[in-house]
Amino acid sequence: MSKQEALCRAEKMSATEDRKEKERSAEEEDIEEVMREAASSTTTRPKPGLKQPIIINIPEPVEDFLRNFLRRAGLSRTLNSFEAESYSSAHQHLPEALTTETPDVFFMPDALTHRYLLQSKLDTVNRQRDLLRQQVLEAAESLVRMQRERDFHRLQYQRVAEEKNSLIKRFKQLKEHLQSYQPVLSELDHKYQAALRKKQLISLEKERVQTLTEKRLNQEPAQGKKERGNTTDKSSAKSTTRHSKDSEFPLCSRPVNPQLDQATPETEKDIRSFSLSWSFRAHKLPVSCIDLHPQKLILASTSDDLSWRLWALPTSGEKVGQMVFSGVGHSDWLSGCSFHPDGSKLATTSGDTTVRLWDFSRSRCVLMLSGHTQPTWRCSFHSCGHFLASCSADRTAKLWDLNSQRCHLTLHHHTASVNSVCFLPYSNLLLTCSADKTLALWDARLAICTITFGGHQHPCNHATYSPVADAVASCDSSGAVKLWDMRKPATPTAAVDAGPLGANQVVFSPSGKTLAVASSDSLVRLVEVDSCAMSSLSGHSNGVQSMTFDHKGKTVMSAGSDGLICIWS
């Protein structure tokens, strides 16, 4: 080949390459223009009258032809530039085109669009996978921790179960051991009762001998004086060995109460004629007990506010309750009160386990009796005024000698808390009731339980006596009120249902014809003893805790947990 031919061929090849380059640039310009039109068409919204969808047509065959041509020609840099330039605008507008919410718009996706969508889904799946992996790891840690706690609690449960089984086994052993002592205890109880009976017989024989001695002394004055002096010396020596200030119980049976003439059947009111006359606030906290002065219209009240108060009740139609005295000294709530027979003193019981004696003339506490181990509930004076009985939650009742200021007797019979105690008027008989569902009548001189009343199905809250007959009334925590004849204690003579809530106190009228019941349902109930007819009085806003009659039985006074004292007449 000559030089001239070679130059001609080189010129032709260069011209061909120039032409191809121009064609390629023209095609690239056409492709860019088509891509710009496609991108701009995706952002344009259809006009409001057009219903046909807008279809974006991407000429994929032309792009594939150019790509294949450049690949066959080996023009890799040109191919890379073409792909970068031709698809850069498509990549910029692709997220906007994919997330558009224009209705009736459809796309003709190409391979890169599919790739982008798949890559987005893959990224989402990877994120979800990482999140699930983290949650699984956390759940695994929580599971391990819960398994450790389960094992710990299982060990603790096994330990507690073993301790429980050992305690049950120990309890059974102690129960069997206690049952082995029952015969011995029964035998000792029989011996104790026999000794008490023997003591009673000796006491009666002693009284008979003293009576015979007094008769002989009256028949022989001179010789009697000497014998009386010797007897006095011996008795004084004996009392000195016992206690110099110990009191003796008076030898009284049951004479007629001198106050009974104040309440005759003619003055007894009908239970349906009582109505609320007036009321006043006695304490800010609940009132636990009230008691009437033996001679005057003075009412004593005790409360949970650690104080007791005396209220003067008007004799005329004035509706005023005036406080005349108050006292504070107990360290816990007050539960009961009782006037001395002469009205000059007041005894109070409290949750601090003590019994206190207050003297109105000295305006202070003159005696504090300590001996109970649990809260004391009620107290009652003997008619002679030298003895005071108290009951407590420690299952005992105590008899205190006020002259020697010490415990004279401790009465053990009840198996649960002794909730009330009262002396029968002008006698040495003492009545107690207990949460063991029984009542007991005691001979206070000999400390012997002479009668036991058993008929309640629930714990007894209070028991009282009739001032004119051998009748006893009691109430329990279910509202059951029972009447008893002391001569026939086996079964109650009558029963009244004052429930469904508990009855806190029962009290007879001076004539013994009417029975008042203080109920926890805020009602005061009056019961006719003969017919057991019942009438209810409403005036308290909370449970009624205590009540009493006046000296003539024409007025009823009640106190409750609302801190009020109501007067019914």
The CATH number linked to 519 is 2.130.10.10
Does residue 197 fall inside a structural domain?
no
pTM of the model: 0.57
Do residues 498 and 534 lie in contact, with contact meaning Cβ atoms separated by under 8 Å?
yes
The answer to whether residue 233 sits within a structural domain is no
| Gyration radius (Cα) of the chain, Å | 53
Give me the pLDDT at residue 30, please.
61
pLDDT for res 26 = 66
- Whether residue 308 lies inside any domain: the answer is yes
Q: What is the largest CA-CA distance in the chain?
A: 197
- pLDDT the model gives residue 218: 65
Handedness of CA 171, 176, 180, 185 (dihedral sign): positive
Q: Which two tokens stand for residue 185?
A: 């205890």
| Pair 480, 363 in one domain | yes
Instruction: Give yes or no for a contact between 327 and 321, defined as CB atoms under 8 angstroms apart.
Output: no
Which pLDDT score, from 0 to 100, does residue 235 have? 37
Residue range(s) defining the domain that contains residue 131:
110-182
What is the tally of structural domains in the chain? 2
Q: Are residues 156 and 286 in the same domain?
A: no
Q: Are 335 and 356 in contact (CB under 8 A)?
A: no
Same domain, 431 and 539: yes
User: Does 364 share its domain with 506?
Assistant: yes
Mapped onto helix, strand or coil, the DSSP state of residue 215 is helix
| Same domain, yes or no: 503 and 373 | yes
Low-confidence ranges of the chain (pLDDT < 70): 1-15, 17, 20, 23-61, 86-113, 200, 215, 218-245, 251-268, 315-321
Of 165, 182, 199, which closes a domain? 182
State which of 182, 198, 222 marks the end of a domain.
182
In a domain, 114, yes or no: yes
Return all residues near 318 (Cβ < 8 A) that are at least 6 apart: none
For residue 294, give the 3-state DSSP assignment.
coil
Residue finishing a domain among 127, 160, 182: 182
One-letter amino acid of 342: D
Q: 338 vs 9, 213, 214, CA distance in Å?
A: 146, 39, 37
Cβ-Cβ contacts under 8 Å for 336 (sequence gap 6 or more): 288, 289, 302, 348, 349, 376, 377, 378, 379
- 353 lies in the same domain as 481: yes
